Structure 1
Amino acid sequence: MLIDLWRKFLLSLHLRSIFMALVFVAAVSVSAAGQNAAPSGGSGDKKPEQPSGKSSNKSSKKDKLDNATAEQITETTILLYAIPGGRNTMEQIRKTSAEKGKITLTAPDGTISTAKYQRWTIWGNTLGEEKIRLEQEFPNAKYSLIHAEKKVFGVFNDSVFEPRDDARVSFENQIYRGLDGLLRYKENESTLELMGREKYMGVEYFMIDVTDKGGRKTRYFVSVKTFRVMMLDYEENGSKYRRKFYDYNYAQGILVPYITALWIDDKLREEISVGTITFGQKVDEGLFAAN
């Protein structure tokens, strides 16, 4: 029943109103289990005949938002990224995914290279069980990196090879230190820690540290206003990494950043632009085989 009410509420509002409703949900309606959330009469703010009630309601929302926990904030974010059912909707829709787009890489010497890419994914119960194939086609080479059975290997001209350590780690970081590192924290048995708030270029963020079972710690910056993840930070081998997410849009009910950019030590090194993404289509298991 709560899901039905939530669906009707979302359909009745403009997208910006949805964001504000979700802020309210984060403060007062996220359960400890984090499975469902429902609106609680935010439309009452629109009644001019009750100004005192409106003021009191706003104050109550702010107080509860100020006291929100890392789990409440994260569960609200999950709900936003997969409307209307959060992680249940995410699992149902993202059973498989197929994505095409363009990657632009900038080398330390300033050389820029571009590649077309395709990414196929089969949902796993955890990120470690996820099957992912990333195929990159450069002007002079075409190869794939595959994550399956909790390991990474490459395929070039139908031959399997072991990727360089830097290529393997970069690929793994896209998986374990990407959006799903936060959105799937519960399945991955990761820990959450709210590190307070920070303003960056006029935008206020919740800072949430996620530490997975492999010991990877990633800091996610969640907009206080929209509950979207706008960037993330982590450190590795003495370098500081920052990945930013832009051009958000919904695809089949899943919120997708169509542009992501990676900075290493304050220098732009990678930009990924999604052309198309579809969920639920048949994906051949053979794409992830090592033979």
Structure 2
Amino acid sequence: MGLAALLVLGPILSVAQEKRAMEILQRTLAAYGGEASIYLLRQKGQLRGFVKVYLEDGSTREGEITIRFLHRLEKQDELRQIELRFPNAPTLVITYDGERVWGTENGAPIVLRLRTEAAFRAELKHNYETLLRYREYKAEVKYVGREKRSGIDVEVLDLTLPDGSTARYFISARTFRILHIEYDVAVPRASKPIRFRDSFYDFRVVQTTLVPYRIERYEDGRLVQEIRFTEIAYGVQIEEAQFRPPGS
């Protein structure tokens, strides 16, 4: 193929890929209940369930998890709080208050591990709702192509946020549900980033919007966490004060 043909073909492919990305995005938004459900219903909510942690020595720990969030449209961010309760262990709370990430054990302030804070911050940006809110976050979405994952045809999209951080989304070519997200997490003092993968299962409709009730997390290919939600509610009473550190 000559140089002239390549120069002509390049822009054509780019336009076609952009069009395909928009088609997939619109069908994905529709699968999750449409933009009205995403922007209006999912402004605040609470998710409860059970969490299972897979440790490096092969053992596991099981406990309860509660996630609270408050989406602030005017600031294009999301306040988030995760509460973890394990048997014979203090209650751990990790919170993003809009400025910083802080933690407590049984209400007493603690210094979070660098890896824990890095993973929490990454999850604030890289979750399945980020793709659904791509307009709000002014994200750039590119079509990568189609491939198979566990025998399922998936459409692959790359999402880039204004700060340059990226995530790859694997979307069912049949149902247009987001099945997996992959992204790298840079941990201070670590020699290289950790490749995270979040996989979503057991989709159910909650208040007109589609929600995964089971989420698995992998780090560099190893299963490290599984969450099974038992209760998900949107529009519950949640205030910004709930995300402030004790005594502030």
| TM-score, with structure 1 as normaliser | 0.72
Report how far residue 110 of structure 1 moved: 1.5
Measure, in 2, the Cα distance between the counterparts of 1:171 and 1:81.
24
Q: Secondary structure at the match of 1:149?
A: coil
Equivalent AA in structure 2 for residue 182 of structure 1: L
Change in 2 beyond 3 A, CA 1:235/1:127: farther
Task: Tell me the equivalent position of 1:95.
Answer: 43
CA contact (8 A) 2:197 2:218 kept: yes
* Equivalence map 1:158-169=2 (5 Å): 158-169=107-118
Task: Tell me the equivalent position of 1:225.
Answer: 174
**Counterpart among 123, 126, 130 of residue 174 in structure 1:** 123
Report how far residue 135 of structure 1 moved: 0.7
**Counterpart among 143, 148, 151 of residue 97 in structure 2:** 148
Q: Secondary structure at the match of 2:164?
A: coil
Equivalent AA in structure 1 for residue 237 of structure 2: K
CA contact (8 A) 1:128 1:150 kept: no
Task: Tell me the equivalent position of 1:81.
Answer: 32
Task: Tell me the equivalent position of 2:64.
Answer: 116
Q: Deviations over 1:158-201 (max 9, x none)?
A: 33334221111222233211101211111111111110111123
Measure, in 1, the Cα distance between the counterparts of 2:153 and 2:17.
13
CA contact (8 A) 1:106 1:268 kept: yes
| Identity percentage of aligned residues | 25
* Equivalence map 1:190-229=2 (5 Å): 190-229=139-178
Task: Tell me the equivalent position of 1:59.
Answer: none
Q: CA RMSD for the aligned pairs?
A: 2.1
Task: Tell me the equivalent position of 2:10.
Answer: none
Q: Secondary structure at the match of 2:242?
A: helix
Matched, 1:131 2:79: yes
Change in 2 beyond 3 A, CA 1:265/1:99: same
Measure, in 1, the Cα distance between the counterparts of 2:194 and 2:122.
14
Measure, in 2, the Cα distance between the counterparts of 1:261 and 1:269.
8
Unaligned runs of 5+ in 1: 1-64
Matched, 1:72 2:27: no
**Counterpart among 281, 284, 291 of residue 236 in structure 2:** 281
**By percentage of residues, which structure has more strand?**
2
Q: Deviations over 1:93-124 (max 9, x none)?
A: 12220111011111222221122011111122
**Paired residues, what number?**
224
Measure, in 2, the Cα distance between the counterparts of 1:260 and 1:97.
17
Q: Deviations over 1:137-162 (max 9, x none)?
A: 11112021111214211122333334
Measure, in 1, the Cα distance between the counterparts of 2:91 and 2:233.
23
Measure, in 2, the Cα distance between the counterparts of 1:127 and 1:134.
21
Unaligned runs of 5+ in 2: 1-15, 186-191
| TM-score, with structure 2 as normaliser | 0.83
Task: Tell me the equivalent position of 1:246.
Answer: 201
**By percentage of residues, which structure has more helix?**
1
Change in 2 beyond 3 A, CA 1:145/1:102: same
Q: Which has the higher contact order (CA 8 A, sep 6+)?
A: 2
Task: Tell me the equivalent position of 2:54.
Answer: 106
Equivalent AA in structure 2 for residue 257 of structure 1: P
